[in-house]
Structure formats: C-alpha cells, structure tokens
C-alpha cells in the first residue's frame, strides 16, 4: 500500500513535469547560469581555482534545488492540489516520500548536465570515478531534498514563502553541503585518500538517515492544521 | 609613541573601570607603563623584573578584552530594553482594551 | 510575574555587580595572559547558548506532538535567547582568538557548529516574524532539525583540525580560575532564567491580548 501511494504520487509529479518541462528547463538554465557566473568570477587567465570545482558543483545544486522546490510546490498551491493530496485516504509519509523522489529525480537529471559542464569549465577530473561521484551526488541530493521537500510543503501556506525557503533551508542543510563538498573534493585529488572519502560519505549517509527519519516522523503533525 | 601610550592608558583605565578594579590596584599598573616609556629611547643595560604582565603583552590584549566585555554589557542591555519596551507596549494595549470593554459594557 | 521574580532580579543584579571584582582578581593564565579573561563571559554564555537551544528544541518537540501553546511560547522565548547568547559567544570568541590564535576566525568544528546553530535560530525568528499564520508549527519543525544537526558536527571533530581548547580544561581548573568562572556561570544561568521568564510573560500577555480582541470582535 505504502509503495503504491509513493509510486502514484511520483508518477503524477513526473507526468505533470514531463508534459510541460517547466521546472526542468528553468532550473537547469538557472544552474548553468550559476556555473557560468562562477566561471567568469573565478577563472582568471584561463586558470581555474584549485579545488574549486567541488564547491561550485554543490553550490549550483543547492541554488537550483531551492528554485525547483519552490516551483514544484507553487504549482501544487496554485491549483490547490496539495490540499487534495492531503485529503486523500493515504498515509502522509507515503505522500512525502513520493514528493521527495520526484524532487530527487529532477535534481539528479540536472546534475547530469552540470557535472560535465563544470568538468569542462574548471578542468576538473570529475568524471574520472563516475560511480563514486554518482553515489555521492545522489546521497547528498537526497539529504538536501529531504529537508527541502518538508519545508517547502509546510511553507505552502505561509506568507513570503519565496524568501523564507532559502532562509530556512540553507542553515539546516549546510552540514550536508559541507560533507558533499569534502567528499567530492577528496574524489578530485590525484590519488584518492580512501579513508577520508569513506568518512565524508558515511557522514552523508548519516545525514540522509536522520533527515529522512525526522521528516517522516514530523510530516504528519506538521501538515495537519 | 606618545599617542599610542595615551590610547593604551585610556584603554587600561576603561578596563579598570569595567573590571571593577579599585583605585589602589590601578596605581600598581602605572609603574609598568612608565617603565615602558622610559625604556624605549635608551639601550637596555639590565633586565627589570616586574610583577605585572609585560606591557607588550598587555597592549594588544586590553582593547580586545574591553571590546568583549563592552559587547556583553551592551548586548544584554539592548535585549533587556527590547523586552521591556515590548512588554510595556502589550501592557498598554491590554489596559486600553480592558478600559474600552468596561466602558462599552456599562453603556 | 511569579513571586520569586523580584528577589531573583535583585540577586542577579548583585551577582552581576560582584563578578567583575572576582574576574579582575583572578590570576593571569600563563600562555594567553590578559586576554584569557574573556573566558569568564565566553564559556558561560556558550553554555547558556546550548541550554537555550536544548530548551527550544524540547519545547518545540512537545508543542508539535501535544499542541500546547505554552510550549510554543517557551520555544519562541528560548530561540530569542539562543540568538542573544549565541551572538555574545560568537563575538567574544573571535576577540579572544585574535590574541590567542592570531586569527579572528578558524573553520573549526566547534566554531562552525556554533555558527550554524546560531543561524538556525535567526532563521527561526525570521520565520516567526514574517511567516504569518501557521508558522508556529513550521518553526517547531525547524528547531527540531536544527537540534539534530549539532551532534553530527561534533562527530566530524576527529577529521577536523581543531585548536579550540578542549572540554577537559574545565574540570581541571584550579580554584583561582574556577571560582570566578562558576560564579559567572551561575550569574548567567540566573540571567537566562529571568530573561526567559520575562520573554514568556510577553508572549502570555500577547495571547491574552489576542483573546481579548477576539472577544471584542465576536
């Protein structure tokens, strides 16, 4: 039952998105402009900053993620579909997981474009270990989106939600971003220090577990009026 | 040099006032300052023992300490004032509303 | 206000007046010298910062699952004190570090954790102020997530170069350092309780005012 609700919510979100591609295009364009701004600001005389790629990748993901979260729930608000979703006889945590997976899918799709772009512009060996990079990116994105989905869903009813979402989201997700940046930076070293990489990755997994558990636990009381 | 000494003396004074140092104790701080002043122009023949911290050590530390304690006092005072102001405002509104309720209840 | 409030204010004022003398009479520390005296406000305010954060988190948790507005008021009051004691800690710390470490700021675990905790509490207050209706629950959720962060940043201490004095300093303090420290800590604790009570009182008055307005309209 739980898995079915998750799948239905996810399929609904993906279907709406595929039809218009509004969030995908706008978020992606925003992320690319972000990377370009960093490139203009930091690449001097053809030399990219040392160890800058990891930070720029994660900052772009965080910025684009905030935009995507805001838009995804704005759409739900405009047509009052979130209320309908909440009235549906389905477990609230399942609805949350469905929304979370939708956001993660969107962000991962964006990252597929961002990674080669950053590798190109900042001459970073991001694609040298694709499996590790993919694992780190997905883990970090889940941690970021777990908090983001919960807050964006709650902020739907609040005033000035556009400003409040980043204000609330960044302080909470800074540890995830720190761990993601450190793990990616460890991956970019010529000879990877396995112990450091594993430590930051383990920390990312811990954040995911804690954030998803907390969000599942508090989604129900938080979404009840 | 003169200006710096003056500034340092002022800061130590402020520190003394803030730290609640009694005047008797402040007097013990003066000689070390004059030692510093007198030592500067001529070459050093002998080492002078002092009971207090060396002045070189005190000079940069004192402003930091003064700023830290001043900030604590100012921050607490500002917060206290803000709470008092808000409490006063709400109390005024409450009194006004209660008076209004009483008046409308009578009429 | 409860009966104990006025005597406690008097006691707190007295202790605030005495503590500068104790601090001035404490000996100098051997390596850090005069600047180490910042310790007597830095550490107590850091403790109150943590205490306020814990009070805020626990009160938020209880509000979220019980729905009692009293806990909500307590959480709000505690969040303001997190900001207050946090800014005191974060300002006095760098002033001390400038002399002791030679830099204003270091991306050390404890410093980073404190900064993030402080930022979460500022976000909490912004949310309460500008969030409009329904922001009380959202703020409670934010406080919970903010609390969950802290232990994790503490874990990463092993992999993070740290120059902050360790917690083993406090139990090994000689009496000449310990007396002013503990006196100052008790003063701060008393101040914390008084400020918290006054701030909760403000929220109570506001709730009463809202109830009165409702009764006038209705």
**Per-residue pLDDT reduced to its tens digit, A109-122:** 999 999 999 988 88
Structure tokens at C76: 């709000």
CB contact under 8 Å between C24 and B20, yes or no, is yes
**DSSP 8-state code for residue A44:** B
Give A77 to chain C, closest Cα distance, Å: 15
What chain B residue is nearest to C36 in terms of C-alpha separation? B65
Nearest Cα residue to C110 out of C90, C82, C81, C88? C90
Report the number of secondary-structure helices (H) and strands (E) in chain C: 6, 0
Cβ atoms < 10 Å from Cβ of B14: 16
Q: CB-CB: which of C138, C148, C153 is closest to A210?
A: C148
CA distance B59 to B56: 6
Contact C37, B64 (CB under 8 A): no
B72 in contact with C at a CB cutoff of 8 Å?
yes
Give the DSSP letter string of C184-197: HHHHHHHHHHHHHH
Q: How much is the pLDDT for A196?
A: 87
Interchain touch A–C (≥3 Cβ pairs closer than 8 Å): yes
Residues of A whose CB is below 8 A from C137: 154, 221-222
Verify whether the Cβ–Cβ distance C33 to B76 is below 8 Å.
Answer: no
Provide the CB-side half-sphere exposure for B60 (13 A, CA): 11
Q: At what angle do helices C39-66 and A194-223 cross, to 10 degrees?
A: 50
Among A207-216, B29-38, B77-86, the least confident range: B29-38
Distance of alpha carbon A220 from alpha carbon A202, whole angstroms: 28
- What are φ and ψ of residue C33, in 5° steps? 70, -145
Residue B91 — pLDDT band, cuts 50, 70, 90? very high
Q: What is the pLDDT of residue B6?
A: 57
Record: contact A151-C131, CB cut-off 8 A: no
Is the pLDDT reported for residue B55 higher than 70? no
Residues of B in contact with C201 (CB under 8 A): 87
Q: Residue B38: what pLDDT? A: 45
Find, among A185, A12, A201, the residue nearest to A95 by Cα.
Answer: A12
Residue among C132, C149, C158 with most chain A CBs within 10 A, to mutate: C149
Does residue A107 carry a pLDDT above 70?
Answer: yes
Q: Which chains touch C (3 or more CB pairs under 8 A)?
A: A, B
Contacts of C153 in chain A (CB under 8 A): 175
User: CA of B69: how far to CAs of B13, C18, C39, C189, C191, in Å?
Assistant: 14, 15, 11, 18, 16
Query: For all residues of chain B together, what is the average pLDDT?
Result: 68
What is the 3-class SS of C146-166, one letter each residue?
A: HHHHHHHHHHHHHHCCCCCCC
- At A128, list the tokens: 């040298």
Chain C residues in contact with A147 by the CB 8 A cut-off are 145
pLDDT in tens, B60-71: 778 888 889 999
The Cα of C153 is separated from the nearest Cα of chain B by a number of Å equal to: 27
- Nearest residue to B20 via CA among C23, C92, C88: C23
- pLDDT value for A110: 92
Among C135, C145, C157, the residue to mutate for chain A (most A Cβ within 10 A): C145
Each residue's pLDDT tens digit, A52-100? 899 999 999 999 999 999 998 888 888 888 888 888 888 889 999 999 9
Closest CA to B57 of C104, C97, C23, C32: C32
The answer to whether the Cβ–Cβ distance between C152 and A203 falls below 8 Å is yes
Token pair, residue C188, equals 């701060």
Q: Is any Cβ of chain B less than 8 angstroms from the Cβ of C198?
A: yes
3-state secondary structure of A47: strand
pLDDT at B5: 55
Contact A214 C126 (CB under 8 A): no
Taking 90 as the threshold, does the pLDDT of residue A150 lie above it? Answer: yes
Specify the pLDDT at position B54.
57
Q: Which tokens hold the place of C9?
A: 């204010």
CB contact under 8 A, B94 and C208: yes
Q: Where are the domains positioned within chain C?
A: 34-162+174-217
Interchain touch A–B (≥3 Cβ pairs closer than 8 Å): no
Tell which C residues from 76 to 135 touch B, by Cβ distance under 8 Å.
80, 84, 87-88, 91-92, 95-96, 98-99
Question: Over 70: is that where the pLDDT of C216 sits?
Answer: yes
How far C156 CA lies from chain B's nearest CA (Å)?
29
Q: Please list every residue in chain C whose beta carbon sits closer than 8 Å to the beta carbon of residue B20.
A: 17, 20-21, 24
Q: For chain B, give every domain's residue range.
A: 2-106
User: What's the pLDDT tens digit per position in C35-81?
Assistant: 788 889 999 998 899 899 989 999 999 999 888 899 999 999 999 99
Taking the Cβ of residue B50 and every Cβ of chain C, the question of whether any pair is shorter than 8 Å is answered with no
pLDDT band at residue A137 using 50, 70 and 90 as cut-offs: very high
């Amino acid at each position: 039952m739980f898995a079915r609700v998750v799948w239905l919510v996810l399929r609904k979100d993906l279907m709406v998105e595929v039809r218009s591609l509004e969030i995908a295009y706008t978020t992606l364009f925003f992320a690319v402009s972000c990377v370009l701004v960093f490139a203009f600001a930091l690449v001097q005389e053809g030399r990219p900053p040392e160890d800058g790629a990891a930070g720029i990748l994660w900052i772009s993901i965080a910025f684009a993620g905030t935009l995507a979260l805001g838009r995804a729930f704005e759409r739900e608000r405009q047509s009052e579909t979130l209320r309908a979703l909440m009235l549906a006889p389905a477990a609230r945590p399942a609805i949350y997981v469905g929304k979370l997976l939708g956001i993660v899918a969107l962000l991962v799709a964006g990252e597929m474009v961002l990674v080669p772009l950053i590798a190109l512009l900042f001459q970073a060996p991001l694609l040298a270990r694709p499996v590790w990079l993919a694992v780190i990116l997905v883990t970090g994105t889940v941690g970021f989106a777990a908090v983001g989905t919960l807050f964006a869903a709650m902020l739907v009813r609040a005033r000035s939600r556009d400003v409040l979402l980043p204000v609330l989201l960044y302080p909470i997700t800074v540890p995830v971003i720190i761990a993601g940046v450190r793990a990616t930076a460890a991956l970019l070293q010529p000879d990877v220090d396995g112990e450091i990489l594993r430590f930051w990755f383990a920390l990312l997994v811990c954040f995911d577990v804690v954030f998803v558990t907390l969000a599942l636990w508090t989604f129900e009381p938080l979404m009840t009026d | 040099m003169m200006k710096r000494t003056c500034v340092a003396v002022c800061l130590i004074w402020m520190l003394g006032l803030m730290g609640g140092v009694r005047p008797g104790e402040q007097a013990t701080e003066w000689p070390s300052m004059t030692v510093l002043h007198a030592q500067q122009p001529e070459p050093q023949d002998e080492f002078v023992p002092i009971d207090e911290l060396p002045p070189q050590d005190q000079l940069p530390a004192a402003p930091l300490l003064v700023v830290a304690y001043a900030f604590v006092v100012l921050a607490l005072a500002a917060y206290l004032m803000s709470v008092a102001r808000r409490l006063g405002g709400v109390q005024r509104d409450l009194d006004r509303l209660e008076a209004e309720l009483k008046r409308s209840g009578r009429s | 206000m409860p009966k104990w409030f006025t005597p406690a204010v008097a006691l707190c004022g007295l202790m605030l007046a005495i503590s500068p003398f104790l601090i001035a009479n404490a000996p100098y520390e051997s390596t850090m010298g005069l600047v180490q005296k910042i310790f007597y406000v830095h550490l107590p305010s850091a403790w109150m910062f943590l205490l306020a954060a814990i009070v805020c988190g626990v009160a938020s948790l209880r509000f979220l699952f019980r729905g009692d507005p009293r806990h909500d008021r307590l959480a709000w009051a505690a969040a303001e004190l997190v900001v207050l004691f946090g800014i005191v800690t974060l300002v006095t710390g760098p002033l001390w570090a400038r002399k002791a470490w030679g830099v204003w700021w270091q991306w050390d675990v404890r410093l980073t954790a404190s900064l993030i905790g402080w930022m979460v509490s500022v976000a909490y207050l912004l949310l309460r102020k500008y969030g409009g209706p329904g922001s009380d629950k959202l703020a409670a959720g934010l406080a919970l997530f903010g609390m969950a962060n802290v232990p994790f940043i503490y874990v990463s201490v092993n992999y993070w170069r740290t120059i902050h004095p360790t917690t083993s300093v406090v139990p090994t303090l000689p009496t000449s350092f310990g007396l002013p420290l503990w006196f100052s800590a008790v003063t701060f604790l008393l101040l914390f309780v008084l400020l918290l009570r006054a701030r909760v009182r403000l929220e109570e008055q506001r709730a009463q005012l809202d109830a009165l307005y409702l009764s006038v309209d209705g």
